[in-house]
Amino acid sequence: MSLREEEKRKIEEIIKKSLRSKLENYKPETSSMPFHYRLLGKDRMVLYSFIQSLNTAFGTSIFEPIAEVIAGFKFPVVRRQFEIGNRMSQKAQERIQNIIDELSVGSRVPNKEEEIKMIREVARQGEAIKVKPFRVDLFLTDKNGFVHLFDLKTAKPNISEFKNYKRTLLEWVAIYLWEEPDANLNSYIAIPYNPYEPQPYERWTMKGIIDTEKELKVAKEFWDFLGGDGVYEELLNCFERVGIELRPEFDAYFSRFRN
């Protein structure tokens, strides 16, 4: 399955709108870096700073809306920044803590299917605990009614971040099952690109914490899951076309900072 022309147009408009907005509102760092400026040129340093700033905005302003567009042609229900609820059972909270503790000391091997089963067993047991409202970056329901909950993350999380992510993924399950105890669902970490390409994505920091087969989707696996085989490569082509189109605008902007 490939991207339709309508999808490509929407995706490229999202990218262009985000980049132009960033250029229009971007204010370079005011700190003086005389050695760097003389060595590399102020325009290159401003470009570097711009790229760093852009990286932090990619998730919400580019990747999330693009994911919404792509998934919309395959999944009957697609929601971005979807609030799944704010309650879970006391027993489910205790079970999640037990899972996290056992994973942390190595007495348990990550197994998402088993973990969901364990949470489901106690999803409606005990007192209802109110928690802060959880928002899912991307909420999908497929044609079979299976629910997919995605947390989009940066390319290189550290070990403490992975532990927090794991807890969040399990809490999403508990919260959703409190409202829909019979639901078929899974929760995932999605990483939009693989910084180690062409090598596989291998982060030792997630070993023993994340079920890499069942709750992690990286780069091609993520985008092709949303839209079908071949979507990842077509998405890269969309970025390339936008880059070529906007190159004169970028060159004009950063040329203002040449010494």
Torsion sign, CA atoms 18, 24, 25, 29: positive
Q: Which two tokens stand for residue 165?
A: 């992510």
Which domains, and CATH codes, for the chain?
1-74+235-259 (no CATH), 76-227 (3.40.1560)
DSSP string, 25-58: H-----S--HHHHHHH-HHHHHHHHHHHHHHHHH
Amino acid making up residue 53:
S
Reported pTM: 0.90
Write the pLDDT tens digit of every residue in 27-58: 776 667 788 887 888 888 888 888 888 877 78
Could you give the percent of the chain with pLDDT greater than 70?
97
**Which of 165, 145, 141 has the alpha carbon at shortest distance from 153?**
165
Instruction: Please report the pLDDT score of residue 207 as a whole number.
Output: 78
Strand order in the sheet with 77-89: 77-89, 128-141, 147-152, 185-191, 216-218
Backbone angles phi, psi at 169, to 5 degrees: -60, -40
Residue 206 has what DSSP assignment? G
Which secondary-structure segment (H or E) carries 218? strand 216-218
Could you give the percent of the chain with pLDDT greater than 90?
66
pLDDT at residue 148 tops 90: yes
pLDDT at residue 23 tops 90: no
The 3-state DSSP class for residue 123 equals: coil
pLDDT at residue 62 tops 90: yes
CB-count exposure of residue 137 (10 Å: 0-12, 13-18, 19+): buried
Instruction: Please report the pLDDT score of residue 221 as a whole number.
Output: 96
Instruction: Please report the pLDDT score of residue 205 as a whole number.
Output: 62
Bigger pLDDT: 55 or 65? 65
Write the pLDDT tens digit of every residue in 118-130: 999 999 998 999 9
Q: Which two tokens stand for residue 136?
A: 């899912």
Instruction: Please report the pLDDT score of residue 213 as a whole number.
Output: 92
pLDDT at residue 116 tops 80: yes
Bond from prior residue into 198 cis (ω within 30 degrees of 0)? yes
